[in-house]
Amino acid sequence: MTAPQPKPWIMGIAPYIPGRSTTDDGRKVAKLSSNENPLGTSPAARDAFASAAGELERYPDASGAIVRETIAATYDLDPARIIYGNGSDEVLHLAAGTFAGPGDEVIFVHYGFAVYEIAARRVGATPVIAPDKDYATDVDAVLACVTERTRIVYIANPNNPTGTFAPRDEIARLHAGLPGHVLLVLDHAYAEYLDAGEEDGGMALAKTAANVLVTRTFSKIFGLAAERIGWGYAHADIIEAMHRIRLPFSMTIAGQRAAVAALGDQAFVNHTRAHNARWRAWFSDEIGKLGNAGLRAVPSKANFVLVLFEGDVTAEQAYRGLMEKGYIVRWLPGQGLANGLRITIGTEDETRGVAQALRELVGAA
């Protein structure tokens, strides 16, 4: 009997591999592999989540009205132009599913987020990888890749997994250079870690342009990764089209309440941002001191640092050595980063500890 055969473009997908949480021998150690919030979750969000325990038999509000309205009030947006998803990953997939298909092209940058290629291939579109500029987005390279078949350009800003950031004028230049039929998707999963005044202008573009979608997540600075809540903002026509394929109940009652409470606890958000800025700068400086051993920190605006290994100790050796010393980080050879480790900024103790472990591994302790 002949079994059903998957579409050839599905078999071309390399499955997403999440950050590990245990060592090779099963130990739970300091997890610095998934860019989670080391300070946890807002106590208000935790309490709001627990309040839904008595409603497990009920379907959640499929419109997510309370979350959309709270997001709109927080960021001065139109709630009717907000779409939610099971993490911002779902919103990224919705964009591809709505606006691309076989024969179309989807552009993303070298060392971009792995989900972009998966989203493109899932719908039969052709991924097009734009060259980077020292691990950062090169707007000219992206624009040079645009053809009449281009339908979507994905840009993470700050970028994952490199942490690099394209400033406002570069994003404006990219948008201005794209044909109107191309959807520019600005993935702002790490935007809350930017300092005041550093935003790339993407949300302002999404308010006025017909071809810009901005995505956000509650998984990072808000500490709600377990609940998988993401959202996007775009022109009403874009959102209306995406709603046609959105899962109707992908945001739980508990998650909706937690998200609303998390948005209301800006003190927790500010505390997290300040902690990250302090220890990201400290950690980057410590890596800078190991330059003679071949280590280099890519300048980051996110809650992680990409450390490059350009000396005698390889990234794989450091990855396994750190695991033995009690730290799991992210090694990404499948994304062309066999020479780098993405290391989440953890608690003070975790950040000091992983820096000391790296010193010992390269013989600089």
Q: Is residue 76 part of a domain?
A: yes
Q: Could you tell me which of 279, 353, 365, 358 has the C-alpha nearest to residue 319?
A: 358
The residue type found at 193 is Y
Confidence of residue 362 (pLDDT cuts 50, 70, 90): very high
Same domain, residue pair 223 and 278: no
Mean pLDDT taken over the chain: 95
pLDDT at 68 over 70: yes
pLDDT at 255 over 80: yes
pLDDT of the residue at 299: 97
pLDDT of the residue at 344: 98
pLDDT at 253 over 70: yes
Q: How far apart are the first and last CA of the chain?
A: 63
Q: Is residue 321 part of a domain?
A: yes
Using alpha carbons only, give the angle 223, 224, 226 rounded to the nearest 5 degrees.
125
Which domain, by its residues, includes 161? 43-265
pLDDT tens digits, 178-198: 999 999 999 999 999 999 899
Bigger pLDDT: 247 vs 235: 235
> How far, CA to CA in Å, does 112 sit from each of 148, 154, 159, 342?
22, 9, 7, 13
Same domain, residue pair 284 and 354: yes
Residue 22: DSSP 8-state:
B
- Mean pLDDT in residue range 40-46: 97
Same domain, residue pair 174 and 292: no
Burial zone of 245 (CB within 10 Å; 0-12 exposed, 13-18 middle, 19+ buried): exposed
pLDDT tens digits, 103-132: 999 999 999 999 999 999 999 999 999 999
Burial zone of 44 (CB within 10 Å; 0-12 exposed, 13-18 middle, 19+ buried): middle
H/E element holding 127?
strand 126-130
Secondary structure of residue 109 in the 3-state scheme: strand
Same domain, residue pair 183 and 172: yes
pLDDT at 244 over 90: yes
- Mean pLDDT in residue range 150-161: 98
pLDDT tens digits, 46-60: 999 999 999 999 999
pLDDT of the residue at 365: 64
Same domain, residue pair 149 and 164: yes
> What is the pTM assigned to this prediction?
0.94
- Mean pLDDT in residue range 6-24: 77
- Percent of the chain at pLDDT exceeding 70: 99
- Mean pLDDT in residue range 307-336: 95
Task: Give the domain CATH number at 225.
Answer: 3.40.640.10
Same domain, residue pair 220 and 297: no
pLDDT of the residue at 80: 97
Both tokens of 208, joined, read: 């006025």
pLDDT at 359 over 90: yes
pLDDT of the residue at 28: 76
The secondary structure of 176-220, three-state, reads: HHCCCCCEEEEECCCHHHCCCCCCCCHHHHHHHCCCEEEEEECCC
pLDDT of the residue at 263: 98
Number of structural domains (the chain) is 2
Same domain, residue pair 284 and 237: no
- Mean pLDDT in residue range 285-311: 97
Same domain, residue pair 245 and 274: no
Same domain, residue pair 255 and 169: yes
Confidence of residue 21 (pLDDT cuts 50, 70, 90): low
In angstroms, the CA 177 to CA 186 distance is: 15
